[in-house]
Amino acid sequence: MFPNHKFQFHIRLKNQIFNSLRTLQDQRLIYIYNTPICVKKEIFFKITYPNHQSGTNFSNHAYGAIDDYLSFLLREEYLCLFSDASILQIYYEFKGDELWKHRLTWWPCPFFIKLDEANDTPPLDLIDSLIGSLAVSWKEHLVMRSPVRFDFDAQLHHNPANHPASHLHFNNKSCRMLVSHPLCFNRFIGFIFNFFYPEIKCELSDEILWNKNIPVDLCYEKAFLGWK
């Protein structure tokens, strides 16, 4: 089992998330955010957003279905919205002070829109208007982008080949590319800006809140995502 360090990581992580969201909004790098919450249940601490619903990240639709995106937007089931109406979702779970699980998702908006140029029109109203126009100009509005989700589950360390403890989903539900480390929030959102918004300079602390050497088995012959 992974090492247990008594440093109240759940408190430090919640503070990191909140401080980073305020910084990102002050710099106008995100459109709006929901304040993160920490819920304690027995020995588990769960960090997420107020409207989080367990098990709703993927539905029975195709991976990245428009209906799923619209459902998240309607229920405000996100931590924050980017200016292009893409959604960020997070869920962390600690067992005491041991990182137990995380699910970190960037869900891109399937339409080409800019919320900061929409004169405060609610995102869902803006998208409804776009959908009404798709019969005439759908090629101008639809954007084909896959959700990206980083998962970590400490209980899966025994099955690295088929379901690594730390892995990345994209393009397909069954895609699980091994990731060498679980991610803290700033590492995750830094990844999103670096690769999906390269024109935007995002500068946040790169502090790792837990032992970055949490062991992940790399001893198999498949592609994986890693860093030092």
Long-range contacts of 192-196 (CB under 8 A, 24+ apart): 192/88, 192/106, 192/148, 193/29, 196/86, 196/106, 196/108, 196/148
Residue 222 and residue 70: Cα distance in Å, rounded? Answer: 34
Q: Is residue 127 part of a domain?
A: no
- 124 lies in some domain: no
Residue among 115, 73, 103, 82 at smallest CA distance from 196? 82
- Residue 121, in any domain of the structure: no
Is residue 164 situated within a structural domain?
yes
In a domain, 210, yes or no: yes
Residue 2 included in any domain: no
Is 163 inside any structural domain? yes
In total, the chain counts a number of residues equal to 228
pTM of the entire predicted model: 0.85
Tokens of 115: 């919320």
**pLDDT of 95-143, one tens digit each?**
988 889 999 999 999 888 888 776 777 888 877 777 766 555 667 778 8
**Number of helices (H), then strands (E), in the chain:** 4, 10
Q: Extract the runs of DSSP E, i.e. beta strands, from the chain.
A: 32-33, 37-41, 44-48, 80-81, 87-95, 98-107, 148-153, 166-170, 172-179, 224-225
Residue 60 structural domain:
9-112+145-225
* Number of domain units in the chain: 1
SS3 94: strand
In a domain, 128, yes or no: no
- Interval 62-89: pLDDT, tens: 677 888 988 898 899 999 999 899 999 9
